Amino acid sequence: MFKLIKKDRDTQARLGKMTTSHGEVDTPNFMPVGTVGSVKTLTPDEIKSADTQMLLANAYHLFLRPGAEVIKQAGGLHNFMNWSGPILTDSGGYQVFSLAQLCKIKDDGVEFKSHIDGSSFFFTPESILEFQQVLGSDIMMVLDECVPYPSQHDYVKRSLKLTTDWARRSRHRFLRCLEDTGSQQSDRNNGPITTQGRQYLFGIVQGGMYFDLRKEAVDQLIEIGFDGYALGGLSVGEPRELMYDIVESTIPMLPDNKTHYLMGVGTIIDIFESVERGVDIFDCVVPTRNGRNGVAFTATGKMQIRNARFKNDNTPIDRECVCACCKGYARSYLHHLFKANEILGLRLLSLHNITFYAKLMQNIRQAIKEDRFLEFKKEFLGNYNT
């Protein structure tokens, strides 16, 4: 499902293409986050108008609300949310450990109480995979344990053993599904076919901030065999340089012909540094959450539209930007919307920010294509006030 088109001459940056049943995704790429099946405040048409190619949704949240039956009846997540492009669903491992209450890890799965109403659930690697099959997402993620930062080596080692065991069980369940759907042996590497199309399964490299454990994780996941590989458990409070070091040492151990996904990371600087180290896809709440907080991304840095200096500024956020916000509305009006707590302000800035991110990724791809990624990075970050 992933085709490596070319590598940058001077760095590990890669140009690639993922092919899914719901369309192609040019990499490097950024996925806006639609946790509960909605990119907050935006319609799918608006998301598409921003040149977004792929969305992320979260199995943990969708399992708790609205639940499998509702989505099954609606014909899968694509139909339910009216998004026809590719969707990647996170398994919810991270959410179980960060959001749920009274979370108890057992060998066969994880017991927890819903953060919404306190009711009890038990997730197994198999049950989460089956739920993602109901969702019909194009890319499914295995259940994993995301360890907090900092954690002791022996704890992370024990956790990794469990995560690897869960990854193996997820892959077995995935292969059994192939047999259930009557796929031919030759289709095995292409994933099971649901009513929503082919699905793929990615493994998640854990191992905390320990290089030896990251290597162990990669070796074991490659032996199990996945359609793509994600780096999890990063951007959890560790120093930025340490995260880059982990990415730099881990990515080269992954197969070249598979997608490299860095989970939950997506500031502008992190994107440049990680693309340079060979990452293909990203997801993060940064553009949409900032938009709802009155912060717009521009070529010179972040702009807080509530700031008094925009009260009488009748220029758009970004003259070069093609989004509906920049085409139709001035900073003065957006400033007013935020001052008056009007929902339209949240919508317009969210739209502008995901457009900005999509355009940035497009420019990064163009730069890799022309072997001038470092030059582009230097030029962009030289103007961008972090």
Site string for Zn ion, 254-293 (x = CB under 5 A): ----------------------------------------
Binding status of residue 331 toward Zn ion by CB under 5 A? no
For the question of residue 90 being annotated catalytic, the response is yes
Amino acid identity at 111 = E
Q: Minimum distance between the CB of residue 270 and Zn ion, rounded to whole angstroms? A: 22
Give the E-state strand segments of 222-330 in sequence order: 228-231, 259-262, 281-284, 295-298, 301-304
Angle at the Cα of 376 (from 370 to 379), degrees rounded to 5?
150
Place of tokens 């151990």: 253
How many residues touch Zn ion under the rule CB under 5 A: the total is: 5
Q: Please identify which residue in 135, 284, 323, 358 interacts with Zn ion, judged by CB under 5 A.
A: 323
Q: Indicate which residue of 144, 280, 283, 318 is catalytic.
A: 283
Nearer to Zn ion, 184 or 314 (CB): 314
Cα-Cα-Cα-Cα dihedral sign, residues 30, 150, 168, 92: negative
Q: Please identify which residue in 1, 217, 321, 358 interacts with Zn ion, judged by CB under 5 A.
A: 321
Written as six digits, the tokens of 286 are 């940064």
Task: Look at strands 87-90 and 101-106 and give their pairing.
Answer: unpaired
Q: Minimum distance between the CB of residue 286 and Zn ion, rounded to whole angstroms? A: 16
Amino acid identity at 113 = K
Q: Minimum distance between the CB of residue 70 and Zn ion, rounded to whole angstroms? A: 35
Is 358 exposed, middle or buried, given 0-12, 13-18 or 19+ CB atoms closer than 10 A? buried
User: What's 33's DSSP letter?
Assistant: B
Q: In the range 334-363, which residues lie near Zn ion by CB under 5 A?
A: 352
Q: Please identify which residue in 326, 354, 358, 368 interacts with Zn ion, judged by CB under 5 A.
A: 326
Nearer to Zn ion, 232 or 287 (CB): 287
- Rg (alpha carbons) of the chain, rounded to whole number: 21
For the question of residue 180 being annotated catalytic, the response is no
Nearer to Zn ion, 98 or 307 (CB): 307
Residues assigned a catalytic role: 90, 283
Residues of this chain that bind Zn ion (CB under 5 A): 321, 323, 325-326, 352
